[in-house]
């Protein structure tokens, strides 16, 4: 009895299906990592839930605002409820200010005053039914950071290039682990897209938002800038190490580092205006969510 060898067409088909599976898995992992990074970051809206008249209600409070306008806070709540915003500058030992929420159809609407780029306010909502105070579980102050207006021509390429580099990084790592050919071209594409997203368009976005191209090492302690730098170094080492030979373990290490770095929440410990000095600082925020 003889063993049948796989035909060239069958072998090519198997490789093709393997590549499709790798790209599919990489896409799912990249989408999950991107979602986790954004949702756990300090710019994602803060969710609140409370019970009123045997019904549960949810609303969210914003934690970032861009542009040259005041920040509108809009809550979809029952008509029996009224409320107000209580806010002050952060971090600063300043008195609290109050803004009454105005009923607009099904919404309660209030505005927080515009702040300079990287300026922050801490605020919370108080709700009332007549003279009765409505207690909201886990009530706490929310920190919102203001930024300049970032044009779409700068923001969109930044996001697309960063996302593509994350995808290519994962694909390259999986290609290397499964001993697929072509991983060196993918490695180079990963580095190029990452440089475009993180070191070309990233600083442009940063300049529009906070009036500084780079606030990571050695200029500052911005965690977002520093993690981009930290993610690039292993890829450069892997590229050099695989230039004339195959050191696949360096590629796997670089891919794993990229995943770990991008699991760090976006905008964590970023730019913050010091209201006393008027200077923008990075890294040393006293609020754990910032």
The structure's pTM equals 0.84
Expressed in percent and rounded to 5, the helix, strand and coil fractions of the chain are 40, 25, 35
- What pairs with residue 49 in β-bridges? 58
Beta strands in the chain (DSSP E): 46-52, 55-61, 64-66, 71-76, 82-90, 97-100, 102-104, 107-112, 120-129, 132-134, 142-147, 271-274, 279-282
Low-confidence ranges of the chain (pLDDT < 50): 1-2, 137, 286-290
The C-alpha angle 175, 224, 250, rounded to 5 degrees, equals 30
Domain ranges of the chain: 46-147, 151-282
Classify 46-147 by CATH class.
Answer: mainly beta
Q: How far apart are CA 103 and CA 90, in angstroms?
A: 28
pLDDT for position 240 = 94
């Amino acid at each position: 009895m003889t063993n049948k060898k796989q035909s060239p067409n069958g072998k090519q088909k198997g490789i093709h299906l393997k590549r499709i599976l790798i790209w599919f898995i990489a896409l799912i992992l990249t989408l999950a990592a991107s979602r986790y990074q954004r949702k756990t970051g300090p710019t994602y809206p803060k969710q609140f839930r409370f019970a009123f008249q045997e019904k549960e209600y949810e609303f969210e409070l914003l934690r970032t605002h861009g542009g040259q306008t005041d920040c509108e806070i809009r809550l979809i709540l029952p008509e029996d409820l009224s409320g107000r915003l209580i806010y002050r500058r952060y971090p600063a030992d300043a008195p609290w200010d109050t803004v009454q929420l105005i009923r607009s159809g099904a919404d309660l609407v209030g505005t927080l005053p515009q702040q300079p780029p990287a300026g922050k306010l801490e605020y919370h909502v108080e709700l009332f039914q007549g003279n009765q105070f409505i207690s909201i579980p886990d009530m706490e102050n929310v920190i919102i950071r203001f930024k300049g207006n970032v044009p779409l021509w700068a923001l969109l390429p930044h996001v697309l290039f960063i996302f593509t580099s994350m995808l290519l990084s994962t694909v390259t790592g999986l290609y290397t682990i499964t001993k697929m050919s072509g991983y060196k071209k993918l490695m180079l594409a990963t580095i190029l897209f990452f440089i475009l997203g993180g070191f070309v368009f990233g600083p442009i976005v940063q300049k529009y938002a906070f009036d500084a191209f780079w606030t990571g090492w050695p200029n500052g302690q911005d965690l977002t800038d520093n993690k981009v730098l930290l993610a690039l170094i292993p890829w450069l080492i892997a590229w050099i190490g695989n230039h004339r030979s195959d050191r696949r373990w360096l590629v796997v290490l670089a891919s794993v580092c990229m995943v770990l770095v991008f699991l760090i929440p976006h905008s964590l410990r970023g730019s913050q205006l010091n209201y006393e000095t008027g200077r923008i600082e990075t890294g040393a925020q006293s609020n754990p969510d910032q």
